[in-house]
Structure 1
Amino acid sequence: MKAFALTGRDTKPELQELNQPEPAAGQVLVEVQAASVNGFDLSVAGGYVFDMLPHEFPVVLGRDLVGTITAVGDDVEGLTVGDLVAGVIPGVDLGPRNGSFTEHVALPAAAVTRVPDGVDVAQAAVIGLAGVAALDALEVLDIQPGQTVLISGATGGVGSIATQLAAAAGATVIGTAKPGQEADYVRGLGATHTVDYTGDIATAVRELASDGVDKALHSAGDAATIAGLMRPGGTVASTLGATPEQLGRDDITLAGIMAAATGDKLARLLQLVADGKLHVNVEASVPLDQAHEALGLFADGTLGKVLVTR
């Protein structure tokens, strides 16, 4: 089978021929139709993670996917061949069997969920890892109606979903976005205000929330700047590994988000998509044999998500 993979830590990812996996007990084999590009993929492609994470070369890129089940291992219940499912490869191990930029992947049945009727492959594929990260962040932030929430990185996959979830929770959302198309996009997701991340964010936010914001998602930008905009007692959820030292305050709470994906979380998110309550723009869909272009598009910055497709 074809897979987009690294053969060594100092190589660039390329299309490779690998052996097709077989599902072990408790696993399903999925023929991948689409997978989304995430920031983690850029880190893997750049060789930045190999001193921190278990790995075996070749390393296939990609962590989330949508596809059709083509085989079912022993002890799997509730899923059958032909089901269209979405999933996220669990754990952080990297290798030939732990990536989704490929034609087939075997993963635990508990890591996938059926795609609801009315949700197409592209709509389901943009949720994945970004959606779980946003969901985990919002649960930690525990947003209450009337609170003011800053979403730093509101145009990206995590930020786009978090903006919608925060607005649905009754918050006044301030999203970072450049004026024009980006700002229109973020306001269309439910943000009450936008601030230009290429300018003086601190001044712009203070003009909207003179006493500071109650909660914040740090999925882009400078952690210290965000911390300086918090009210005492507020909470910052960071998907970028921010540290207390970077925040420089002891009167606010920092929560690190690792996107602990499960089939149940994906099911919750996909039901919101099916109900018309959650939407993420697909900026581009790139075939698997041109996956390097997908990484380039994502690195340049997008409104929403970039997909790698069959």
Structure 2
Amino acid sequence: MRAVALDSVPATPAVTEIDAPRPAAGEVLVRVASASVNGFDVAVAAGYVRETMEHRFPLVLGKDFAGTVAEVGEGVTGFAAGDQVFGVVMTPVLQAGTLAQYAAVPAGYGLARIPEGLSVKDAGALGLAGTAALNSLDAAGVGEGDTVLVAGATGGVGAYAVQLAAARGARVIATARPGAEADFVTGLAPVQVVDYAGDLEAGVRKIAPDGVDAVLHLAGDVTRLAGLLGGDGRLASTLGLPADAVEGTTIHPVLADPSAETLTTLAELAARGKLRVPVTTVYPLEQVHEAFAAFGKGAIGKIAIACS
């Protein structure tokens, strides 16, 4: 099968031919129709995760997936060949990714059905970033009436976070440059935009003179952002910081937890038009190098990959 498989890291992502996987006990084999690029995939290819997670080669990149169950492994219940599914591969060892024609994925975690009304393309860009956004809001305790600053609002996680925060009744301040970035963010939800490349502090204080109730740290200088919190403000970060990284501020580290319940919640919101999946570009699998390069340059929204 065609797959984005690496023989070592760091390496430039490219398509090669490898043997198709078979589902082990407790797994389903998915014929992948669509996937997406996430920051984690870029970090793996660059070798940044080499010392923190076991790698087995050839290593197929990719976390998100959407497609059709082709085969079920021993002991799997609740899924059958022909089911339309999506999710996130979450395994302790990096080897079986989803930027491929087929992927063997655990049936018990990180897998859910695609509901009617949600396209396969959108489902393939929903799982990891959508989960990270929802988990970040929960970690920061964002609720109705809160003022929340989303730093990194133009990326995949940020684009979901501004929508989910606004849906909770929060007042959302989003970081974006004037022009295309600001237009993108304001098209997602009723938000107020501040330019992160300008005087961020002045922009935020103009909207929230006493500071914000919560910060979602998805990008940027965490110390600078922590200084914008009010007295009882909360800060959640997806960037792997320890809880005590900023003196005087407790950071709530976020690791995406794509349970079936979380995935189903996100999928149903998207299917009902309550959550927009912000796919801005679709690349064929053969152009994965261009997709990774675009991500590295700060592409807006989500980059989808058509795998079949």
Fold equivalence (TM over 0.5): yes
Output the CA distance in 2 between the equivalents of 1:85 and 1:263. 11
Match of 1:306 in 2: 303
1:26 aligns to 2:26 (yes or no): yes
Residue-pair matches, total? 306
Match of 2:162 in 1: 163
Q: Secondary structure at the match of 1:279?
A: coil
Structure 1 letter corresponding to 2:207: L
Output the CA distance in 2 between the equivalents of 1:50 and 1:192. 38
- Which one of the candidate residues 265, 276, 279 is aligned to 1:268? 265
The answer on whether the counterparts of 1:69 and 1:85 sit within 8 Å (CA) in structure 2 is yes
Structure 2: stretches of 5+ with no match in the other structure = none
**Same amino acid, percent of matched pairs:** 46
Q: Which moved more, 1:83-92 or 1:129-138?
A: 83-92
Match of 1:236 in 2: 235
Structure 1: stretches of 5+ with no match in the other structure = none
The answer on whether the counterparts of 2:245 and 2:251 sit within 8 Å (CA) in structure 1 is no
The answer on whether the counterparts of 2:243 and 2:253 sit within 8 Å (CA) in structure 1 is no
Name the TM-score, length of structure 1 as normaliser: 0.95
Q: Secondary structure at the match of 1:247?
A: coil
The answer on whether the counterparts of 1:178 and 1:195 sit within 8 Å (CA) in structure 2 is yes
Q: Secondary structure at the match of 2:286?
A: helix
- What displacement does 1:185 show? 1.9
Structure 2 letter corresponding to 1:112: L
Match of 1:88 in 2: 88
Output the CA distance in 2 between the equivalents of 1:168 and 1:143. 11
CA RMSD of aligned residues (A): 1.3
The answer on whether the counterparts of 1:132 and 1:266 sit within 8 Å (CA) in structure 2 is yes
- What displacement does 1:79 show? 1.2
Output the CA distance in 1 between the equivalents of 2:250 and 2:258. 23
Output the CA distance in 2 between the equivalents of 1:259 and 1:43. 16
Output the CA distance in 2 between the equivalents of 1:69 and 1:119. 17
Match of 2:105 in 1: 107
- What displacement does 1:306 show? 0.4
**1:60-71 equivalences in 2 (<5 Å):** 60-71=60-71
Output the CA distance in 2 between the equivalents of 1:39 and 1:135. 17
Output the CA distance in 2 between the equivalents of 1:267 and 1:63. 17
Structure 1 residue runs of 4 or more that deviate by more than 3 Å after TM superposition: 243-246
Q: Deviations over 1:98-149 (max 9, x none)?
A: 2111111111112211100011112212211101101111111222211100
Output the CA distance in 2 between the equivalents of 1:15 and 1:253. 43
Output the CA distance in 2 between the equivalents of 1:120 and 1:200. 40
Output the CA distance in 1 between the equivalents of 2:162 and 2:54. 33
Output the CA distance in 1 between the equivalents of 2:10 and 2:116. 43
Output the CA distance in 2 between the equivalents of 1:286 and 1:192. 29
1:283 aligns to 2:270 (yes or no): no
1:224 aligns to 2:247 (yes or no): no
Output the CA distance in 2 between the equivalents of 1:279 and 1:287. 22
Q: Secondary structure at the match of 1:269?
A: helix
Output the CA distance in 2 between the equivalents of 1:123 and 1:242. 30
Name the TM-score, length of structure 2 as normaliser: 0.96
Match of 1:138 in 2: 137
The answer on whether the counterparts of 1:36 and 1:128 sit within 8 Å (CA) in structure 2 is no
- What displacement does 1:284 show? 1.0
Structure 2 letter corresponding to 1:105: A
- What displacement does 1:268 show? 0.7
